[in-house]
Amino acid sequence: MQAKRFGSNAITFTKIFAYCLVVLPILFVISLIFRNSSDRTMGFADARALENREVKQNVTPVGAGGLGGVLFQHADKYNGKLLGGLLADGFDEAACASRSYEDLHKRCGPNTQSYNKALEQLKSGKKIMGLTDCNYIVWISFSGLGNRILSLASTFLYALLTNRVLLVDEGKDMADLFCEPFPDKSWLMPRDFPLIDQFDSLNQNSPDCHGNMLKNNVINSSAMSKPSYIYLHLVHDYGDHDKLFFCDGDQSFLENVPWLIMKTDNYYVPSLFLIPSFETELSNLFPEKATVFHHLGRYLFHPSNHVWGLITRYYRTYLAKADERIGIQIRIFDSRRGPFKHVMDQILSCTLKEKLLPAVDMQDSVVNPSENAKLKAVLVTSLLSGYSEDLRNMYWEHPTMTGEVVGVYQPSHEEFQQTEKQMHNRKAWAEMYLLSLTDVLVTSAWSTFGYVAQGLGGLRPWILYKTENDTVPDPPCHRAMSMEPCFHAPPFYDCKAKKGIDTGILVPHVRHCEDISWGLKVVDDHDDL
């Protein structure tokens, strides 16, 4: 009996062992596949993705030829032509301008042979004859963070349209806030760049300023030689001659200038759409025209690990479990000390009228919410804490008419804008990004902070109108035509007729902004006013 039992066990053991020999290799291969899929970002900045189970992204479909696809996932240079999911599978590489740009940046970027040759030409100060191997545009870090993000995205698009290499002046904190967007070569301008000490002093009266040169008849568009560099002043205070940058004739002259140095605090994309020579390329890049900043922003701006930690910790703690997330971005352009009652009344009027937030029962007659009550998380961003405190107290002290539970959260309240402080800008960037992860967004008129959030999130926000005489506007807010930011200081000039014109009525996809009547924004041809 014992011998039989032993023999039976031996046979069973042999079967199990043979089974394992077959199955274990299969399991091992499967585990490698999943491990490679999940560990593809190991060793690189992890500020490129929130897991799908934690974030409901507000993503719009990308058109053919769009910049980089819409999947806001980690991309690294070792992950093939799809960049770790940043580009959609099956994309046409020949039609993908961003990938073409990456090749150009790799060939002409800092410390390459072409860059060093162009740098020597710049240092010589001599005029340039003929064509150069590579042309460059240097973006000067200027103004607040929201303005910088918008102006840098505009300048990258201009670089794409003119086949230039973008170099970024890191200023005090660009490297601290953002990951490098391009593989192999940095987008940061080397610190030994010969003109860097002049950046702060450059203005519209500088001798090498494009507008000033036009004003003084220094530029000879028919001359065979070109200056080694030209300064472009596109700041909000720029003059009529500076605005000729947006004319085709001046673009033809600038085309062969090796170095363009640009200072701007504007999102000037709408006026690029009004330059005839750029029209075809822009249509190819953006079949859905109102997605320009959405795709540019998601391609370029990935939070550094410091900022990503602020984002993920806050999101997982306060927002991840909510059934719906509502963002309210409050920016008041008033020299007086707030908070102001009329602003709080406007916020409530907008959110309740548009049914973004539930009304409360001031008589407390509503029964207690059920265990399955819908949870709404309200993310408030403001320099002041008073508005979120009032909103939080309202939903704490009174039940909602719908039985929903509302939580109100505000990551920071810095009291006043502190552009030069590192942690202030880290928090600002984190809060813009957090707002972009909401399902519904309310923003303040004129605010570039809100523009960045709505663009990254692919959201058409409700815009709180700018108040006058401390009264609530009627209506208090309005739904934006598109997710696109507003160009606050566009030119109003017909380059062919050489006379003033309303540039907000020339084409159906460039219209006046909702929050700034003279501003311009890009919309889709089918968007309603």
What is the tens place of the pLDDT at every residue in 9-50?
444 444 554 555 445 544 444 443 333 333 323 222 333 334
Q: What pLDDT was estimated at residue 78?
A: 28
Q: What pLDDT was estimated at residue 470?
A: 95
Give the mean pLDDT of 447-465. 98
Instruction: Name which of 5-19, 132-146, 164-178, 344-358 the model is least confident about.
Output: 5-19
Instruction: Name which of 111-125, 127-141, 177-191, 260-274 the model is least confident about.
Output: 127-141
Instruction: Name which of 50-59, 231-240, 489-498 the model is least confident about.
Output: 50-59
Asked whether 397 and 123 are in contact (CB, 8 A), the reply is no
Residue 340 burial by Cβ neighbours in a 10 Å radius (0-12, 13-18, 19+): middle
Give the mean pLDDT of 320-337. 93
Instruction: Say yes or no to pLDDT of 69 above 80.
Output: no
Q: What pLDDT was estimated at residue 46?
A: 36
Q: What pLDDT was estimated at residue 369?
A: 64
Higher pLDDT, 368 or 408: 408
To 10 degrees, what angle do helices 448-457 and 145-162 make?
60
* 195-217 confidence digits (pLDDT tens): 999 999 999 999 999 999 999 99
Give the mean pLDDT of 354-363. 95
Q: What pLDDT was estimated at residue 365?
A: 74
Higher pLDDT, 370 or 511: 511
Phi-psi region of 423 (alpha: psi -120 to 50; beta: other; left: phi over 0): alpha
- Mean pLDDT for the chain overall: 84
To 10 degrees, what angle do helices 292-300 and 448-457 make?
90
Asked whether 273 and 289 are in contact (CB, 8 A), the reply is yes
Asked whether 241 and 212 are in contact (CB, 8 A), the reply is yes
Asked whether 76 and 47 are in contact (CB, 8 A), the reply is no
Report the topology of domain 305-480.
Rossmann fold (3.40.50)
Taking the C-alpha atoms of 105, 108, 109 and 115 in order, what is their torsion angle to the nearest 10 degrees?
-170
**Distance from C-alpha of 402 to C-alpha of 184, rounded to nearest angstrom:** 54
Q: What pLDDT was estimated at residue 334?
A: 84
Q: What pLDDT was estimated at residue 98?
A: 59
Q: What pLDDT was estimated at residue 525?
A: 79
Q: Which residues of 491-510 are buried (b: 16+ CB within 10 A; e: fewer)?
A: bebebeeeeeeebbeeeebb
Instruction: Say yes or no to pLDDT of 80 above 60.
Output: no
* 219-233 confidence digits (pLDDT tens): 887 777 889 999 999
Q: What pLDDT was estimated at residue 367?
A: 63
Q: Which amino acid belongs to residue 192?
A: D
Confidence (pTM): 0.83
3-state secondary structure of 373: coil
* 394-429 confidence digits (pLDDT tens): 999 999 999 999 999 999 987 766 767 889 999 999
Which part of the chain has CATH 3.40.50.11350? 305-480
Q: How many CB atoms lie within 10 A of CB 43?
A: 9
Helix (H) / strand (E) containing 453? helix 448-457
Q: What pLDDT was estimated at residue 372?
A: 85
> How does residue 245 score in pLDDT terms, banded at 50, 70 and 90?
very high
**Distance from C-alpha of 233 to C-alpha of 382, rounded to nearest angstrom:** 31
> How does residue 96 score in pLDDT terms, banded at 50, 70 and 90?
low
Q: What pLDDT was estimated at residue 51?
A: 33
Most confidently predicted of 81-90, 118-127, 200-209: 200-209
**Distance from C-alpha of 138 to C-alpha of 521, rounded to nearest angstrom:** 25
Instruction: Say yes or no to pLDDT of 514 above 80.
Output: yes
The residue among 485, 436, 443 whose CA lies nearest residue 461 is 443
Specify the residue for token string 């200056």. Answer: 227
Asked whether 466 and 333 are in contact (CB, 8 A), the reply is yes
Q: How many CB atoms lie within 10 A of CB 71?
A: 20
41, two tokens: 């970002």
469, two tokens: 């005489």
Concatenated DSSP letters of 179-194? ---SSSS--BPPTT-T
Q: What pLDDT was estimated at residue 2?
A: 44
Q: How many CB atoms lie within 10 A of CB 391?
A: 21
Q: What pLDDT was estimated at residue 131?
A: 79
Taking the C-alpha atoms of 233, 239, 241 and 244 in order, what is their torsion angle to the nearest 10 degrees?
70
**Distance from C-alpha of 407 to C-alpha of 321, rounded to nearest angstrom:** 11
The percentage of residues in the chain with a pLDDT greater than 90, rounded to a whole number, is 71
Higher pLDDT, 165 or 528: 165
